[in-house]
Structure 1
Amino acid sequence: MRIKTLEMSGFKSFVDRTVINFEDGITGVVGPNGCGKSNIVDSIRWVMGEMSAKHLRGSAMEDVIFNGCESRPPVGMAQVFLTFDNSDGRAPAEYSQYSEIQVGRRLYRSGESEYFINKTPCRLKDIVDLFLGTGVGTKAYSIVEQGMVGNIVSSKPEDRRILVEEAAGISKFKSRKEAALRKMESTRQNLARLTDVLGELERQMNSLNRQAKKAERFKKISDELRDRELVFFASKYRSARTELESIQNEHVALHQDEVSALAELSGFESGMEEMRLAISELERELDGASQQLYGVKNSIKLYEAEIVHKQNETASIQQQNRAYADELESLRSRLLELSSRIEDANAAMVDADIKLAGSSNFVETAEKGADEIRSKFSDMKRQCDAAGTSVMELAKEIANLTASMDHLERRRIEVNGRIAKNQAELDGIDSRRQQIESDLHKKDAELLGLRQMKFAIAGESESAATTLEQQKREFDEAEKRVRELRDLVSDRRSRLDSIVELRKNLEGYRDGVRAVLSRTDSEGKKLEGFVGTVGEIFETESDYEPALGAVLGEKLQYVVVKSHEEGVDAIDYLRTATSGRSSFIPVGVRASEEATSEPEGEGVIGPIKNFVRFSDEYKQICNHLLGDVVLVNDLKLALSLWESGSYKKTFVTVDGCVVDPYGVVTGGSGGGVEEQLVAQKRRERELSEELAKYKGELTRAEGEAQKFKDHVSSMELRVDQLGRDVHNEELKLIGYERDIERIKDEISRYDRERDKLSVETAALVEELAETDAEREQNARRLAECNEQHTTHEERLSIMRSELESLSSLLTGREKELMDLKVQFAQAGERASLVARELDGLVRDKSSVVASIGRRLGEINSANQRSVVLSREIDDLRCDLDLAISASTNLEKVQRELREKYEAESTSMRNRELDIREIRKRHDEVLAKYHDADIKLTEYRAKVQFMIDGIRERYHLDLPSIEGQYAKDDLDLDAEEAIVADLKDKIEKIGSVNVDAIGEYNELTERFTFMSKQHQDLASSLDNLSRAIAKINRTSRQRFRRAFDAVDAQFQELFPKLFKGGKARLLLTDEENILESGIEIVAQPPGKKLQSITLLSGGEKALTAVALIFSIFLIKPSPFCLLDEVDAPLDDVNIDRFNDLIRSMVPYSQFILITHNKRTMELADILYGVTMEEAGVSKMVSVKLAADKAQEPQVA
């Protein structure tokens, strides 16, 4: 994640859009004081999530917005976009597939902020999380300012540990721990609140338990009363209650299923975090094992190459020893021959001496004559022997040179063979690498296509998800409307059924009316001629119903018949059946035809019949009953009109007060029965109309809801399919990325093999050149030796001729003595010859023995070297075996870790599928629970409606209801006494909470549910505690490893920077690693060990630099931004500082803000910050080559 570009607009002094391109290597930023160099650092800090205005050198966050200058007005917005190169894939997993990652931040003067990742709006937390554990961030060691160098030295030990935490990669664990602690605190608070709620519920349950027992006694007596008074309604209520209990049980069961599914879902989700931590740890272990395996395999290759080299040297020694052995065999044969000849010569010498002993006088005489010749002969013999020795030495040297030439020729052939073999391997590697690079290009192209396909599908998925959410909201609205309409339809139907039941049962009418209208013929049909009651044929507006009911009064009880015959027949029936009395009004009743004037004026509404609706066939009845009735606003006006005497009318007010033609005034309260009788038909009609209206709306709403449901189902299928497609594409991407990584690793391996073969081939070529040079030198020496050998042999031949001449002369002289004493002469000659021969043989034997000794010494040295080589080969083979064993173990560990990682990943994916399945099951149960809840509400409404109906009936006309449902053979007095006694018992019980039983059951269910939640919260608290403990354990281990590594690196780097001295890091609290601070103890060269605070400014700066770069060496940050860190350093320390940066370039990208010329010379690209226009910064870039610089260009 190296910085690629930085784009600023409206940020501090960079008011215009400014784009800075950063490349690998070292980028320098220079400029005079106050030109805005440090604003570049501030912009990078700001876009990476810095929220402290103080750290950005301001008092408020609005200070980062350009505030205007003499020539320019203030701007309303500051924005910065920072683009990272992620070709190395070091970004977090969710962004690792992107080759570039861009983060952006925008701030308006109104205080509103916007954050972006890859131009997608996000939260500040998302940007902060992106950099956690990467060594990059506002608090990491990737950005070092001059003030930060001082802070490292002067800050508290506890603050200094942040740098090591970032290197240890535990900042993300720390963030997760803080989140877990916040969640734990929230859970504790919820647990405390839930404990209080449970306590309150328990107190309420105790109170409701007492009320429920009292209600049960009341219910028992009420049930007995209800059974006796209303058998039919009690049975119906009991059936409805049974069904309601069944629905309640289903409702409770579904609710428990929903809670169980939710708890199971919470349990699975809480375990996901632990699995993620385990997978993260496995990834780290797998990476470490791979690095170790790579190192061990390199060691194996080095061991194998060294073994081959030493085996070749051993073979060369063995070949040389064989040549020496052959030569020794020849020398030993020569030695045996010489020894045998010396023995023979000694024997001959003894024989000659015996013969000479007898004739010594002759010998002395002969020797005197031969002394002179013998002396010459001896001199010549010595010269001849010396020449023979020289010839023999040259022959030996020629033999050695010839053997060496043969050895060098064989070595030359062997080296040429190895060079040819290496070249063939290099050609094969180049061919395979070219093929793999071709595969890599194809994979890259395919990967790009897959990413584009994935982005397209992801975009389509997001669009579909948005559409799905909108459709779900529309479906929910439609469902809500359907439920509302169902409630309205149910309510209207129930109320209509009640009205119809009341009218059917003629509630409110006298016994005689009900007896007449309930009569049937022999077939069970109602008798013809009976239309109904007056209250049933008239209808008016609700505002006038009190007036109509008051003016008709008892007339509402009139039974409307076709003729008087039906009326007379009904009277006879009533008299015979003793069923009460009733009045009958025929349809053709005679109405008063007297025409009178109608009153007019303010307050007079008009004749009431004008406001009554009825069928035309009942017009005469209307005229008869209402023809003289005038409707007025109030009683005062009615009395005024009557007192005027001008109108013989009945006046009725809107609220039901009546003034008849005779002045009788009727009014007050209690006219409810008549009003209800009048209103029944209107209420039935209105309810029927409303029912039809709501049914129509319900049908349309159900159609709309079904349409939305179909759309939602279709879109859910589409979203699921797109989700699967995105997942499949991601799996393909992962597979391709793994293939690409494998190919890149293979290319790297081929490159390493090629480099190794190239180095080996170069060494072989050099060795071949040395062999040829040595062979040429030996050839020259061999030629010289051959020439000298020829010369010495010719000279030896001449000397031997001269020796033979002297020998012949001596023989002649001795022959002269032979005449004197032949035996003496022969003996003397024999003794002389044997002596000379013996002397030559002895010298030859000494030479051969010396040669054998030299060759044995050389063979012994070679054998000792061979033994040393054999021992070294054995040691190398032991090391090789250990390395192979370690490689096997590491491969096993790597395989086990990979299998474990894949198993954990598979387990996590399976758990995600399980969570998805549980969530789906939870949603299904929740939907069923909502349906059951609606159904439960509907049935509760039905039950409540029945209860309200019974209560209304009890209050309206209890004696009539008792007469209607009484049995003929029932003892009325006894039944009345029983009922009175039951009522007395109910009254003695006092006030009763009849809902206490249901409330107690509901409260018990709620208490059970809350207790389960309490257990779930306690379990969640335990899980969070375990997760935090695991995070602490992992953080402790990682921090300890990172601290030890940084300390070791710091101890190594400090003396390099100071050219001596020593320093180390100490933990202030070894027992509490997670909170322990870090102390720096330094001892520059020539000084005593002391605290860092006692060092000079330059020493402090250099010590801080040593610490920061020690962390870099342990965990290199993708980039490093140094803002005038070199300011306190002198020239010598500047050079050390620059050397250190130069050595770190392969690991990180460096951005240096400096005033130092030596540091400027270090940069590959140099940016200059200028302020040509006061208050406005601009950039000028210069790219530096090896020997020249290009012309400046405005960035």
Structure 2
Amino acid sequence: MRLSSIKLSGFKSFVDPTNFQVPGQLVGVVGPNGCGKSNIIDAVRWVLGESKASELRGESMQDVIFNGSTHRKPAGRASVELVFDNNEGKASGQWGQYAEIAVKRTLTRDGTSTYYINGQPVRRRDIQDIFLGTGLGPRAYAIIGQGMISRIIESRPEELRVFLEEAAGVSKYKERRRETENRLHDTRENLLRVEDILRELNNNLEKLEGQAAVATKFHQLQSDQDEKQKLLWLLRKTEAQNEQARYFREMEQAQNDLEEQTAKLRNVELTLEQMRQAHFAVGDRLHQAQGHLYQTNSEIGSLEAQIKFVIESRTRLQQQIGALTAQRDQWAQQAEEYAGQVAEAEINLEELSARVEEARMLAEQKAELLPVLEQEWREAQTKSTESRARIMQAQQQLELESAHQRNASNILAGLATRKERLQQEKGGLAMPDSSHLANLKMQLEEKQQSLEEQNMMLEEAMEQQPKLEEERQAAQAAVQSESAATHQLEARLNALRQLQERVQTEGKITPWLQKHELNELPRLWQKLDIEEGWETALEAVLRERTSALQVSNIEWAKHFFSDAPPAKLALFAPAVAASADASAASGADGVPLRPFIDLLRLNDPGLRGVLQDWLHNVFLADDNASAFAARGTLPAGACFVTKQGHIITQSSVRFYAADDEQAGMLGRQHEIDNITKQLRAQSMLAEEARSRAVRADAALGNHSRLLTELRAKVQSLTSSVHTLQLEVVKLSEIEARFNQRSNQIETDLAEIAAQEEEQMQVKLESEEKFEQLDMELGNLQGEHEDGQTAFMAKEQRLADAREALRELERKAQEAEFAEKSGRSRIDELRRSIATATAQVAQVGESLQAGQLELEGLEAGTANEGLQDLLDRRTQQERALADARHELDQITQQLRQFEDARMQGERSLQPQRDKITEMQLKEQAARLNQEQFAQQLAEVQADEAALAEKLHPDMKASYLQGEVTRLTNAIAALGAVNLAALDELATASERKNFLDSQNRDLTEAIATLEDAITKIDKETRDLLQDTFDRVNQSFSELFPILFGGGQAKLIMTGEEILDSGVQVMAQPPGKKNATIHLLSGGEKALTATALVFSMFRLNPAPFCLLDEVDAPLDDANTERFCRMVKRMSDQTQFLFISHNKIAMEMANQLIGVTMQEQGVSRIVAVDMESAASFATEAQAA
């Protein structure tokens, strides 16, 4: 892969688009000072991803944009493009398939930086990946600018190692290692999260196990309760069945008793019924007698009324006979009048019959003419219809052509509107702002670069986080430890103090002391200070006097003899101390004895006097054996006391033992004092630990806030990058849509033009056809009008004939109707005559009947019948009285039997009530049995299995008690998490999954660590091999460039991955200790030898040299040039020089001039001009 050309536009002094061709392997760039030659080197460095303005000899990245001159305005953007020839396919990655690779970078004034590869927007990292490990890059060894030679040779060992890594091509290994470390870090964080979840899950599992145990117990209790409840239901069902059977038997017995009593009652009712029948028979006879009497009375009344009616009827009949006679005469007169009207109507009927016959004959004659007229009319109608159809067809064709014309016009109008709209849309299409898109891409690159930097800072901060957390945990552990120690001391101190206080306040003597107001007096032990370890001995000697109360005057004690205390009590008053020799003594063998009082540290003289009195002749013994051995040396009345409290005299030994809580008070007080001192010291330690913990928390909090801020920045930058990416994609799509829409509009306009031409042709053809059809329609309409006139005349003749026929038919119908009316009139008159004749006959008959009835109305016979009826009524009244007497007797007997029946009915009611009661009880038992059976059925109980568990001696009360007990036991469990078992199973399953994930993460960490180890090993081997080969090449090239001498590279550390590289060079004849003692030219040659050594190992595609030969003399320059020529076989060189010797080695020379102030241009250069430039430069 070789460099073909460099295209610059708006970059520094190259304001105009400039195509800098690089045709060969050795290309020299010449020109006067300040003409912009080094800007070419800066352009290459910038397009390869340089982001530090100082490396480009500027203060900010915007300084690379042309800033204007005397005659030119500042440029808005800078653009540099490198074109590479990749015919050999040596480029790495996806771009290796292209024969030519163009790498481009643009920058606008608003800071938008954009990278391109073959016209496609890419990231800065994508460009760096292409040249990764090739020696090319913004700060790699293949681009050597002004002053870089001295910087290389004077670099620190750590900085020089970077060039060695680039030569070794380990950049990709470092990148892989960094990615592996990131994955390792993420995996460890995931492992920590999984472990946290596992810890929390284990805690939850413990809770769930407890809840599951409760739930299991709940289910067990509930199962027992269900079983006992089912047994209870089954037992109660059985009891209900038994009760139902018992009640049913009792009910049957009661029904039998009821039936027996009912049978007796039926006998009484039968007799009663017989008596009722007899009563009814007598009553019937009574009623019959009464009926006869009533009938006789009625007949008597009827005869009396009949006699009265005969008299009244004769008068009425005489009146009716007169009226009927008048009515008969009237009907006879009407019959004569109807007969005269019938004769007149028959004459009129003959005339109407003649008129009807005449009208019929005229109508038949007129009807015979109608078929001929109708045929003529139909023929005329057919001709008219055909002509109308031809006219309609012509009109339809004419309308169709008119529609074609309108359609063509509408289409043309629509096409015109669409054409106008498309033209307006074409004119209104906004050209996308490509510069804004480029700015966005540049901003995206800068945001991505900032995001990478923030991610690095975040990673560094996250690496410090565990250390700070460990420090905080250590500080918190120290706080907890010191706090625990403090709490232990405080607990011990409080316990001792409470014991001391309880010993003082409890006991039988406390009420006595309160009674005499002595409970507030100081105790002796509170004033004693004895050497540590002898507290028990002092208590053994003083015994109850250890808690003696101090009074101001011992005279008080005499008042208590009458009211002695209920327990041992000692009172003392301060006394004058004896002389120092008073308690000193010597043994019988002259050996001095040490008084016990010497162990006390007393500042109160009065108290010392009391204790000297109490401790007189009490001496110390170091141990029991020595005291026992020396007891014979004791003076009379003296004793030894040991630390254990044992008292030894000449003739006795008293062993000490604590007999109550009063014992050990001095020891406890001494321990209280010691613990109080320890507590103060421990409190200081705890406070110091808390201070350290607070500082650790503060440091961790500050670091956490820093992490939060960094994460927020990373998140913000990520969001910004995402937003910019979306905006870039959006603008790119807008640009694509603009181009697509513009092309579509052009295509649509061309289609519209073709459619307009086509529709114009259609419209012209339709207009011609429309004129032709219009003429044909005029002719057809003329013919139709003539035919229509003939049709109308024939239709009028037919209508007139039909109207005449209808008039004749109407007249015939009128004549027939008149004839029918005449006949009806005759029939009606005849019926009236018959009616009048019948009425005359009927009235005559009524008149005759009235006369006969009048003759038959006589009153004599009725008077004779009346006397007979009166005699019969007297006999009937006697028979009625006899019947009433018999009825009274039967009624009395009937009442007696009715009372007997009522008594029998009343005796049946208690039995019925008992049966009803039995029925209710049987029904209740049956309902209970059904209820319990239903409950058993609802729970799907196996009654056969339950019956086997149901013992004969098992009672319902026992089962009910068991159910109640189990219910209370379930209630005692409280709130039960019934889902605990499922949750426990789920949690266990999740724990197994997390355990598996934990194992997987642990294995992944081990794998990643192995990968890092493998990468480190490969990197170490590659670096070591590269170091050895570069060192070998460096030691070979150095003598060539210097004509002798020696040089080598030295590792500054044991680990090659971390150690630096130091250059040791000694030109011929020099024994300098460091490279800093060399001259500028020697340093330049040494650095050149080092760079070329790297080139020999890993040749870069091209190398840029910016006045590297400036510090060299002619001899060194010639050696330098020979070296460059040899290396140009593998590497393309583009060098800037003012040296004539260096110019001579170039295959091509390119000149840079600045004829216009501030603007660089490329010019053709010949060797003579180059030589003159070199001479002038050297002279200057």
**Which TM-score band applies after superposition, normalised by the shorter structure?**
0.3 to 0.5
TM-score using structure 1 length: 0.35
TM-score using structure 2 length: 0.36
Q: Which of the two has higher C-alpha Rg? A: 2
